[in-house]
Structure 1
Amino acid sequence: MKKIFYLLIISALFIQCGKHKEQVSENPSSVNNSSNSKNLNISVLIDLSDRIDPEKNSNPTMEYFQRDIEYIKAIDKGFLDHIKGKKVIQLDDQMQIFFNPEPSDPKMNELTKELKVSFDKNTTKDNISRVEKNYSSLPSQIYQSAIQDKQYVGSDIWEFFKNKVKDYCIKDNHRNVLFILTDGYIYHKDSKFSEGKKTSYLTPELVKSLKLTSSDFKTKIQDSSLGFIKANDDLENLEVIVLGINPAKGNPFEGDVIKEYWENWFKEMKIKNYQIKSADLPSNLEPIILKAISGK
């Protein structure tokens, strides 16, 4: 009888442990199936400074503006792959393109209207085809217009994060993903100021003046509290992918300094998920872009 009694107790314990394991394993799947992971809100912020000038910043392998265009096509592909993988009744996704500040060419407003797309339960195959067509041709028109105009407006990315990112790029019940196409430098004459050793801008001249030209650059940044001025708070619901970092020549640590500035800035603004990538060939960055959008 004692043996039978002990066997019953051991069996009951195993059953309870099994139930506990089942309950624990359900939690991750419930997170993965949340509405936040199903609905995408993708934004693309384009830096239209002279970094895209094929005369001033030429690259014989592939011009930087052409790389941008291909990055945008890859972003569009990842977005549409996501759309095609959902049931029509589940669609609640959008994608848009921004500049800051806006270029002087009035055509730009019309082009960005065409590139702002939303998908809902009324979406048809024609909608998807139209988006594919627009994203294969219109981004090129944006860059050609900016290059021909030659009035490069700079990149006021700091002001965009301060005054616009929450309204433009963050939507409830969505995965909010912001792609920034930039060389990593930030400068605009209307948003140039400093607080202590921190600044709203970053230029090759600033990096040089701060003597961030040796392998101890990270220690200098930390000890002197260098970096970008915090532009916003509580951006946990925003994922950011920076594409196109292109450091000025002459300082072997320039690219590392740029990335350190951006990483510290994102952390201060509570951005948990971010990537910062150099201006690589689109064929190398496309898999990274697609993976970032799929969230896998």
Structure 2
Amino acid sequence: MKTTFLLSTLFLLLTASFTRKERISTPIEKPPQNLNISFLLDLSDRIDPKKNPNPTMQYYQRDVLYMKSIVQAFLNHVKQKKIFKLNDQLQVFFDPAPKSPQINQLSQQLKVSFDKNSSKKSIITTEQIFATVPIKIYQSAIRDRHYVGSDIWGFFKNSVTDYCIKDQHRNILIIITDGYMYHRNNQFKKNGKSTYITPALIREQKLNTPDFQSVIKRKNLGFIAPINNVGNLEVVVLGINPSPNNPFEGDVIKQYWGDWFKSMGIKNYYLKTAELPSDLDPVLQKIILADKP
């Protein structure tokens, strides 16, 4: 009788142990993240194929294909989610707003959102819109030739928090620019730092030698931080295109941008040069579809 009792007790203990181990080892399914992706497009004369030609592929054509890669990754994310869990947005911004009525009208089509009421047809429609509308915007800007620069610094100061950050979302801002920052309405300096960077400024500060980093540190050079504590924003800069006259120009530009993001509390950022879209596509897919907390 005693032996039977001991065997029964041992069996119960082993069963409980295995059950507990199975329960512990069962992975907890992580809820799908909500994406909030914003584009900030630089429609300055950098896109002009006459002023800045590239025989391999014009820069405005690269921009359009960069956008296509991002949008495809976004839509792949949407397709993987259950309909009732959809809460994802995609939008395009300019700063300043283009004066062209056609561009403004076209850009309205580039603000899309998906929620539990969205249909599969809306996904197809979004693919079609982003396959045709961005190229029309660039062609219109090039045809008008009213280049007023891109106020990226002003966008961060006045708009990024309101336009690009949503609660309970993974917020990603895609900036497509050549890396130089300049706008005629935002040009000032403070304690060595500035709101802009141009080839002339780089030459003026003698940032054309291997020790450019020590020069930046000694002179306290860089961008002025217009805001702080935006750690819930990720930024991807695409299309950096430094002047070939200075072998360190690209490194200087990336140093400025990287230091700027850190000063604003942005931890996750990516700085990419104007590579061929086919080469950059898998990189962008990986960034957008990364499983961030």
Superposed pair shares fold, TM > 0.5: yes
Which secondary structure state, in structure 2, belongs to the residue aligned with residue 43 of structure 1? strand
Letter in 2 for 1:94: Q
Rg: which structure is higher?
Answer: 2
Aligned counterpart for 1:262 among listed residues 257, 264, 267: 257
What's 2:218 paired with? 223
Alpha-carbon displacement from aligned partner over 1:198-242 (angstroms, at most 9, x marks no partner): 000010000000000011001111111100001111111000000
The equivalences for 1:1-296 within 5 A come to: 33=30, 38-296=33-291
Any unmatched runs of 5+ in structure 1? 1-10
| 2-structure distance, mates of 1:222, 1:106 | 45
Letter in 2 for 1:211: K
Which secondary structure state, in structure 2, belongs to the residue aligned with residue 66 of structure 1? helix
| 2-structure distance, mates of 1:292, 1:101 | 28
Which secondary structure state, in structure 2, belongs to the residue aligned with residue 263 of structure 1? helix
| 1-structure distance, mates of 2:34, 2:148 | 33
| 2-structure distance, mates of 1:245, 1:127 | 33
Letter in 1 for 2:165: I
Letter in 1 for 2:132: S
| 2-structure distance, mates of 1:293, 1:153 | 30
| 2-structure distance, mates of 1:295, 1:44 | 18
The TM-score with structure 2 as length reference comes to 0.90
Letter in 1 for 2:30: N
| 1-structure distance, mates of 2:155, 2:268 | 19
Letter in 2 for 1:275: Y
Any unmatched runs of 5+ in structure 2? 1-12
| 2-structure distance, mates of 1:289, 1:106 | 31
Which secondary structure state, in structure 1, belongs to the residue aligned with residue 230 of structure 2? coil
| 1-structure distance, mates of 2:187, 2:137 | 26
CA RMSD of aligned residues (A): 2.0
Letter in 2 for 1:295: A
Letter in 1 for 2:78: I
| 1-structure distance, mates of 2:233, 2:263 | 13
Letter in 2 for 1:51: R
Alpha-carbon displacement from aligned partner over 1:222-277 (angstroms, at most 9, x marks no partner): 11110000111111100000000000121000000000000000000000000000
What's 2:8 paired with? none
Alpha-carbon displacement from aligned partner over 1:94-122 (angstroms, at most 9, x marks no partner): 00000111111012222121110000001
Letter in 2 for 1:154: G
Letter in 2 for 1:33: K
Which secondary structure state, in structure 1, belongs to the residue aligned with residue 63 of structure 2? helix
Letter in 1 for 2:41: I
| 2-structure distance, mates of 1:58, 1:220 | 32
Aligned residue pair count: 275
| 1-structure distance, mates of 2:160, 2:149 | 18
Which secondary structure state, in structure 2, belongs to the residue aligned with residue 215 of structure 1? coil
Which secondary structure state, in structure 1, belongs to the residue aligned with residue 185 of structure 2? helix
| 1-structure distance, mates of 2:73, 2:148 | 29
